[in-house]
Structure 1
Amino acid sequence: MGSPHALELLGITCTFAAPGGGPSYTAVADTTLRVAAGEFVSVVGPTGCGKSTLLNVGAGLLVPSAGEVRVFGEPLRGLNRRAGYMFQTEALLPWRSALDNVMLGLQYRGVPDAQARAQAQDWLARVGLAGFGDRYPHQLSGGMRKRTALAQTLALDPDIILMDEPFSALDIQTRQLMEDEVLELWAAKKKAVLFITHDLDEAIAMSDRVVVLSAGPATRPMGEFSIDLARPRNVAEVRSTPRFIELHTQIWDVLREEVLKGYQQQLKRAA
């Protein structure tokens, strides 16, 4: 019987050598994080606490100093080929059209061009960009580029979706539209999602579970909260419900002290 967990980060420690032979820096220490198949998990924490480091470990882009990564019960060796990664920064190739960008991963996998084109057109339509396939990234708005990146990630039909603050650069209206679109697409196939965000409201509105990380260095989970809000959800509407406000208060009580610690550490480094 397969593992009920799509992704397991078990006892992960990530230590980096300092340039010039200075003292090493431990970004993440003895952290265990699990995401069940079909579960939407968000990770929140102070700036610089190692959230993206954990995501890179789960993607197989970074080998931890200690600990183990398991994907559906099997040890991860190399890149996590069952995961799709949606980055915070733009990852679209400027010389390729929206359609060609969405096709790219499929072509790398050896999908014939005609089939890759048909799948890419279908995914562009699903994210509301039917008819925009011939536009280049510079001809698209920020929200449209994010939709293209989302289509590019989902076109590969990954079993695990890794998202690193994908909507942080968008205005609030576009961001809420994108959040609702992601939830609608996620509900259709129920992939495992590990979602990194600074926005506690976003984390609660979208997730089944929210994990709070401590301030770095040597970050670790400080709290874990089950989000029992009914689905389907509209991210704007759910934020005004009494249960959302109650959950926000509970999680912020844990997160607030860590954010203050992180802020003080930033001031010390800047001094």
Structure 2
Amino acid sequence: MAVHALELIDIRCTFRAKDDHSQRYTAVADTTLRIADGEFVSVVGPTGCGKSTLLNVGAGLLEPSSGSVRVFGQPLSGINTRAGYMFQSEALLPWRSALDNVKVGLQYRGVPDAQAREQAEAWLARVGLAGFGDRYPHQLSGGMRKRTALAQVLALDPDIILMDEPFSALDIQTRQLMENEVLDLWAAKKKAVLFITHDLDEAIAMSDRVVVLSAGPATHPIGEFEIDLPRPRDVAEVRVHPRFVELHTQIWNVLRDEVLKGYAQQLKAVA
């Protein structure tokens, strides 16, 4: 039996309430999620249901209240050093150029500066930013900053890529360009990807498998769908494929009630 790249097994995450430490809130309950080596898996669910919590558990940034995490068959202890994490918010250092931002992880790993520079320049070129290495984050467009962040993650050649709604702030045209670039880069090396998104179209267009989470509290998987659309894919063109429409209908039928529950809970919280 093949070893999975990442396994979250019977995960439960419980937190103390901010305003009353005697009260506890269970964000995630009884959740098992496995990603095979080379598999692209997206997780969708209502806003605030705990998607990012699961990603942080897989990254080793958050220790679950119960359950276990395994990385290529080995128990995870501390930070997942075999994973690269692309955050929803930009993690670029504003005082460093694009090139220096891509270099930073390599330098922390002890890669000699000349070699780190060469690798960083190569990755900037691969994400379409050749010649922009001397620009600072404030001199780059939103899409260019996302490309820099992507190069920063991929330069470390992680075996697992964790992505937390990385393109949600981009306009639709730039977003689709970035989605296609990610698919092209993924196809070249077939890393394991765990992709968090609230956009069902994005999840279907990019993934091998889509996992649907329930509304919180105590979110857990309530559906899992194999995405059998042919590859390679263009994320804009694939949306008109009859099978895409069929899959979207199937998944939305599972997701719809949970989105409405999540929306009702948000209204109650602010009332």
Q: Cα distance, 1:21 vs. partner?
A: 2.2
Gaps of 5+ in 2: none
User: How many angstroms apart in 2 are the aligned matches of 1:183 and 1:4?
Assistant: 23
Matches of residues 125-140 of structure 1 in structure 2 within 5 Å? 125-140=125-140
Count of residue pairs the alignment pairs up? 270
Q: Report the equivalent of 1:154.
A: 154
SS in 2 for 1:61: coil
Q: Report the equivalent of 1:12.
A: 11
Q: Report the equivalent of 2:48.
A: 48
- Give the partner amino acid of 1:222: I
Deviations 1:244-270 (A, max 9, x none): 000000000000000000011111111
User: How many angstroms apart in 1 are the aligned matches of 2:269 and 2:139?
Assistant: 40
User: How many angstroms apart in 2 are the aligned matches of 1:231 and 1:21?
Assistant: 49
Deviations 1:172-191 (A, max 9, x none): 00000000000000000000
User: How many angstroms apart in 1 are the aligned matches of 2:261 and 2:17?
Assistant: 22
Q: Cα distance, 1:22 vs. partner?
A: 3.8
TM-score (structure 1 length as normaliser)? 0.99
Q: Cα distance, 1:4 vs. partner?
A: 2.3
Q: Report the equivalent of 1:171.
A: 171
Q: State percent identity of aligned pairs.
A: 84
Matches of residues 88-103 of structure 1 in structure 2 within 5 Å? 88-103=88-103
User: How many angstroms apart in 1 are the aligned matches of 2:147 and 2:269?
Assistant: 37
TM-score (structure 2 length as normaliser)? 0.99
User: How many angstroms apart in 1 are the aligned matches of 2:17 and 2:150?
Assistant: 35
Q: Report the equivalent of 2:194.
A: 194
User: How many angstroms apart in 2 are the aligned matches of 1:175 and 1:63?
Assistant: 32
Deviations 1:13-40 (A, max 9, x none): 0000113324100000010000000000
User: How many angstroms apart in 2 are the aligned matches of 1:105 and 1:232?
Assistant: 30
User: How many angstroms apart in 2 are the aligned matches of 1:22 and 1:227?
Assistant: 43
SS in 1 for 2:240: coil
Deviations 1:128-169 (A, max 9, x none): 000000000000000000000000000000000000000000
- Give the partner amino acid of 1:4: V
Matches of residues 234-253 of structure 1 in structure 2 within 5 Å? 234-253=234-253
- Give the partner amino acid of 1:47: T
User: How many angstroms apart in 2 are the aligned matches of 1:139 and 1:21?
Assistant: 44
